[in-house]
Amino acid sequence: MVAPTQSLIPVRILGTGSVLPGRAVTTAEVCQRAYPGRDPADLVARTGIERRYWADPETTHASLAADAMRRALASAGLQASDLVRLIQVNSTGGDTLLPATANAVGDALGLHGSCDCIDLNNACTGFLSAMDLAARSVATGLHPVGVVVSELWSRHLDPSDPRSYVVFGDAGAAVVLGRGRTSEGLRSSWLRNDGRLRGSVTLAHAGLTREPEIVRFGVSNKQITQEATEAVLTSARTALTLAGVRMDDISWVLPHQPNGRMFDMLARELGIPEHKQLRVVGEIGSVGAASIPLSLDRLWRSGKLRGGDLLLMVAVGSGISYGAMVYQLGAAGP
């Protein structure tokens, strides 16, 4: 076992929650719009996605995030008024540029002057970035902290750009963090960005381009896959080394899931056995920064976690942003 080079950040996941808004949209439906005449089964085989959820028009980032956070608070046995910091994460700019969407989330939760509410955007790695900031807040005495992700990709899709249209879905997910117990918390956290590769996936403001705000892939699928794979492998291996553990020691691996093929490739490259995986992309599509916390919520509620379990969370996103962390449950479990 490798000697650890990071100190444990004592933090406890108190509760989790997630929401799939709107209706389920099948790949057959999006295929008909984006690729008329193409066999939907072929598209399912290529993307590994059978359906995704697209929110109703009246759904906002604030309403979706508030719903997910209420579920996480209920799971934690806390009231919204207990929170002292709320970090709202999304990849597409939220409801408003000014003020922060987190203000509206706090308002929906009844947090009027009692809680710090801030926005954070680091593309699909945003949840890990927020987890890191939240854990360090808790470790310095500021807790409990809520982290909530809202992704409404359907607002930024167009069938005329089918590469993005057929993979993205909407979702909300949240966690509540508090003070860690003995041997509980982040064993490691390693996050990086490389702006030289920021053209891979973009969503530009209309004020800058004078065009609709549509998600666009700027390079080939092959290049995106290569960049993402290298980033994920580097992140996972570094986080393991910093935690002083090996992949064999990890109980569960929760990676960002942009599509089924990439999920399978990452699992193969990292050597993740099937019993340590939790695959969700087939039924929800690519949901950006919500992918990992939604998987975490399902795992948290599954009854499969045990005291002392190690979770590896790893992500890559536009920017490119990338990173990984190892979280250890306390001896008493979740």
**pLDDT tens string 125-181:** 999 999 999 999 999 999 999 999 999 999 999 999 999 999 999 999 999 999 999
Q: Are 145 and 76 in contact (CB under 8 A)?
A: no
**pLDDT number for residue 211:** 72
Angle at 274 between CA 247 and CA 48, to 5 degrees: 115
CATH no., domain 184-328: 3.40.47.10
Taking alpha carbons only, the member of 290, 220, 224 closest to residue 257 is: 290
Burial label for 310, CB within 10 Å (0-12, 13-18, 19+), is middle
φ, ψ of residue 233 to 5 degrees: the values are -65, -45
**pLDDT number for residue 210:** 65
Q: Where in the chain is the domain with CATH 3.40.47.10?
A: 11-179, 184-328
φ, ψ of residue 22 to 5 degrees: the values are 70, -140
Residue 333 — pLDDT band, cuts 50, 70, 90? confident
Residue 4 — pLDDT band, cuts 50, 70, 90? low
What tokens does 261 get?
Answer: 């093929």
Q: Strand (E) positions, 141-261?
A: 145-152, 170-179, 185-193, 201-202, 216-217, 252-255
Per-residue model confidence as pLDDT tens digits over 256-271: 999 999 899 889 988 8
Instruction: Kindly state the average pLDDT of the residues 287-310.
Output: 97
Count the residues in the chain.
334
What is the rounded CA–CA span in Å between residue 16 and residue 174? 6
CATH class of 11-179: alpha beta
Per-residue model confidence as pLDDT tens digits over 43-74: 999 999 999 999 999 999 999 999 999 999 99
Taking alpha carbons only, the member of 289, 287, 296 closest to residue 154 is: 287
| Residues sharing a CB contact under 8 Å with residue 73, sequence separation 6 or more, in sequence order | 15, 17, 79, 80, 82, 83, 146, 176
What is the rounded CA–CA span in Å between residue 58 and residue 22? 10
